[in-house]
Structure 1
Amino acid sequence: MHRALIFAVILFAATITAFAQDGNTLKLHITNNETQKGVAAATVTVLGTDLQATADQNGKVEIKGIPNGEQVIEIVSHGYESIELKLNFPLADTAEQAVIMKITYEAGEVTVSSTRTGREIEAEPTRVEAIDEEEVDEKINMRPANVSMVLHESTGIQVQQTSPTTNTQSVRIQGLDGRYTQILKDGFPSFGGFSGSLSVLEIPPLDLKQVEVIKGPSATLFGGDAIAGVVNFISKVPEAKPVTSMILNQTSALGTDLSIFNSRKFEKIGYTLLGSVNYQRRFDVDKDDFTELPATRAVSFNPKLFFYFNSRTTLAIGNSTSYQTRKGGDVFVLNGQADSNHQYFEKNKSFRNITTLNFDHVFGDGSRLNAKQSLAFFSRDLTTPNYAFGGRQFNSFTDVSYWKVFGKHALIFGGSAVYDSFRERTPSLSPRNETRAAFGAFIQDTVDLNERVSLEAGLRIERTKDYGSFALPRVSFLFRLTDKLTSRVGFGMGYKTPTMFTEEAEILLFRNVLPVGTNLDAEKSKGGTFDLNYRGSIGEKISYSVNQMFFYTEISDPIILRSNGGGSYAFSNAASRIVSKGFETNARFEYGFAKLFLGYTFTDGKAGYLPGTRKLTLLPTHRVNSSLVLEKHENFKAGAELYYGSRQTLDDRSLTRSLVEVGLFGEKTFGKFSLFINAENIFDQRQGRYGQVVFPPHQNPTFAEIYSHTEGRVFNGGIKISL
Structure 2
Amino acid sequence: MQKIFLLLCTLLCVTSAYAQNSFQLIVKTESDKSVLQGVTISINNTKFKSVTNDKGEAYFSNIPSGKYTIKINHIGYEEKNLIINLPLNKEGSIEILLEQSEVELEEVIISSTRTSRSIQNTPTRVETIELEEIDEKSNMRPANVSMILHESTGISVQQTSATSGNASIRIQGLDGRYTQLLKDGYASFGNFASGLSILEIPPLDLAQVEIIKGPTSTLYGAGAIAGVVNFISRTPREKADYNFIINQSNVGQTNIGAFAMKRNSKIGYSFLALANFQKPYDVDKDDFTELPKSKDFTIHPKIFIYPNEKTTLIIGNAFTKSDRTGGDIELIKNGADNSHTYFENNASLRNTSTLDLSIKSAEKNLFKAKASFNYFKRSIGIPSYNFKGDNYNVYADISYLKNIKNQSLIFGANLVYDNFKERDQTLFAKDFITKTAGLYFQQTWDATDKLKLESGVRTDLTNYHNSLYSKSDFFILPRVSVLYKFSDKWSSRIGAGLGYKTPTLFTEQTETFQYQNLLPLNNVEAEKSYGGTADINYKTNIGDDWMISLNQMFFYARISNSTILLQDANQYFYFSNTTQPVNSLGFESNAKIIFKEYFKLFAGYTFTNAKAEYLPVIQDIRLLPKNKLNLALLYEKERNFKLGLEGYFTDKQYLYNNFLTPSYWEFGFMAEKVFGKISVFINAENFTDTRQSKYKSVVNGPHTNPTFDDIWTHTEGRTFNAGIKLKL
TM-score, with length taken from structure 2: 0.85
1:586 aligns with 2:584: no
Residue 239 of structure 2 is matched in structure 1 by: 241
Q: Is contact 2:214–2:557 with CA below 8 Å preserved after alignment?
A: yes
Residue 683 of structure 1 is matched in structure 2 by: 688
Residue 635 of structure 1 is matched in structure 2 by: 640
Q: Is contact 1:612–1:653 with CA below 8 Å preserved after alignment?
A: no
Q: Is contact 2:218–2:477 with CA below 8 Å preserved after alignment?
A: yes
Q: Which amino acid aligns with 1:198?
A: L
Determine the C-alpha separation between the residues in 1 that align with 2:179 and 2:207. 21
Q: Is contact 1:467–1:497 with CA below 8 Å preserved after alignment?
A: no
Residue 625 of structure 1 is matched in structure 2 by: 630
Task: Tell me which of 523, 533, 556 is aligned to 2:560.
Answer: 556
Alignment of 1:104-119 (within 5 A): 109-119=107-117
Q: CA deviation at 1:652?
A: 1.6
Deviations 1:17-43 (A, max 9, x none): xxxxxxxxxxxxxxxxxxxxxxxxxxx
Deviations 1:390-439 (A, max 9, x none): 10000000000000023322100110000000100011112210101100
Determine the C-alpha separation between the residues in 2 that align with 1:169 and 1:552. 24
Q: CA deviation at 1:210?
A: 0.6
Q: Is contact 1:107–1:132 with CA below 8 Å preserved after alignment?
A: no
Task: Tell me which of 250, 261, 266 is aligned to 1:252.
Answer: 250
Alignment of 1:492-507 (within 5 A): 492-507=497-512
Q: 1:80 to 1:367 in 2, by over 3 A?
A: farther
Q: Which amino acid aligns with 1:700?
A: N
Residue 224 of structure 1 is matched in structure 2 by: 222
Residue 342 of structure 1 is matched in structure 2 by: 340
Residue 521 of structure 1 is matched in structure 2 by: 525
2:147 counterpart SS class: helix
Q: CA deviation at 1:339?
A: 1.8
Q: Which amino acid aligns with 1:389?
A: F
Residue 86 of structure 2 is matched in structure 1 by: none
Alignment of 1:591-630 (within 5 A): 591-592=595-596, 593-630=598-635
Determine the C-alpha separation between the residues in 2 that align with 1:346 and 1:640. 35
Determine the C-alpha separation between the residues in 2 that align with 1:410 and 1:120. 13
Q: Is contact 2:645–2:667 with CA below 8 Å preserved after alignment?
A: yes
Q: CA deviation at 1:337?
A: 3.8
Determine the C-alpha separation between the residues in 1 that align with 2:216 and 2:507. 20
Alignment of 1:658-669 (within 5 A): 658-669=663-674
1:334 counterpart SS class: helix
Residue 459 of structure 1 is matched in structure 2 by: 457
Determine the C-alpha separation between the residues in 2 that align with 1:392 and 1:407. 48
Q: Is contact 2:287–2:328 with CA below 8 Å preserved after alignment?
A: yes
1:657 aligns with 2:662: yes
Determine the C-alpha separation between the residues in 2 that align with 1:535 and 1:109. 16
Residue 321 of structure 1 is matched in structure 2 by: 319
Determine the C-alpha separation between the residues in 1 that align with 2:237 and 2:126. 26
Q: Is contact 1:79–1:109 with CA below 8 Å preserved after alignment?
A: no
Q: Which amino acid aligns with 1:223?
A: G
Q: Is contact 2:391–2:418 with CA below 8 Å preserved after alignment?
A: yes
Residue 63 of structure 1 is matched in structure 2 by: none
2:142 counterpart SS class: coil
1:673 aligns with 2:678: yes
Determine the C-alpha separation between the residues in 2 that align with 1:680 and 1:405. 47
Determine the C-alpha separation between the residues in 1 that align with 2:260 and 2:247. 18
Q: Is contact 1:145–1:201 with CA below 8 Å preserved after alignment?
A: yes
Task: Tell me which of 430, 433, 448 is aligned to 2:431.
Answer: 433
Q: 1:105 to 1:406 in 2, by over 3 A?
A: farther
Q: 1:525 to 1:469 in 2, by over 3 A?
A: same
Residue 409 of structure 1 is matched in structure 2 by: 407
Gaps (5+ residues) in structure 2? 1-36, 39-52, 58-73, 78-99, 464-470
2:109 counterpart SS class: coil
Determine the C-alpha separation between the residues in 2 that align with 1:500 and 1:159. 20
Q: CA deviation at 1:697?
A: 2.0
Residue 12 of structure 1 is matched in structure 2 by: none
Deviations 1:233-260 (A, max 9, x none): 0000011011100110000001000110
Residue 575 of structure 2 is matched in structure 1 by: 571
Q: Is contact 1:109–1:122 with CA below 8 Å preserved after alignment?
A: no
Task: Please tell me the root mean square deviation across aligned C-alpha atoms, in Å.
Answer: 1.8
Q: CA deviation at 1:496?
A: 0.3
Deviations 1:616-664 (A, max 9, x none): 0000100000100000111001010000000001112110010100000
2:198 counterpart SS class: helix
Q: Is contact 1:319–1:356 with CA below 8 Å preserved after alignment?
A: yes
Residue 652 of structure 2 is matched in structure 1 by: 647
Q: Is contact 2:76–2:106 with CA below 8 Å preserved after alignment?
A: no
| Aligned positions, number | 632
1:137 counterpart SS class: helix
Q: Which amino acid aligns with 1:698?
A: H
Alignment of 1:171-320 (within 5 A): 171-320=169-318
Determine the C-alpha separation between the residues in 1 that align with 2:679 and 2:641. 9
Determine the C-alpha separation between the residues in 2 that align with 1:652 and 1:71. 69
Q: Is contact 1:142–1:716 with CA below 8 Å preserved after alignment?
A: yes
Residue 545 of structure 1 is matched in structure 2 by: 549
Deviations 1:263-320 (A, max 9, x none): 1102211000000000000000000000000000101100000000100000000000
Q: CA deviation at 1:107?
A: 6.8
1:505 counterpart SS class: helix
Q: CA deviation at 1:192?
A: 0.4
Residue 363 of structure 1 is matched in structure 2 by: 361
Q: Which amino acid aligns with 1:297?
A: K
Q: CA deviation at 1:565?
A: 2.0
Q: 1:515 to 1:668 in 2, by over 3 A?
A: same
Residue 710 of structure 2 is matched in structure 1 by: 705
TM-score, with length taken from structure 1: 0.86
1:164 aligns with 2:151: no
Determine the C-alpha separation between the residues in 2 that align with 1:214 and 1:364. 31
Deviations 1:69-102 (A, max 9, x none): x99799xxx9889xxxxxxxxxxxxxxxxxxxx9
Q: CA deviation at 1:105?
A: 7.7
Q: Is contact 1:494–1:525 with CA below 8 Å preserved after alignment?
A: yes
Determine the C-alpha separation between the residues in 1 that align with 2:482 and 2:653. 35
Q: Is contact 1:604–1:621 with CA below 8 Å preserved after alignment?
A: yes
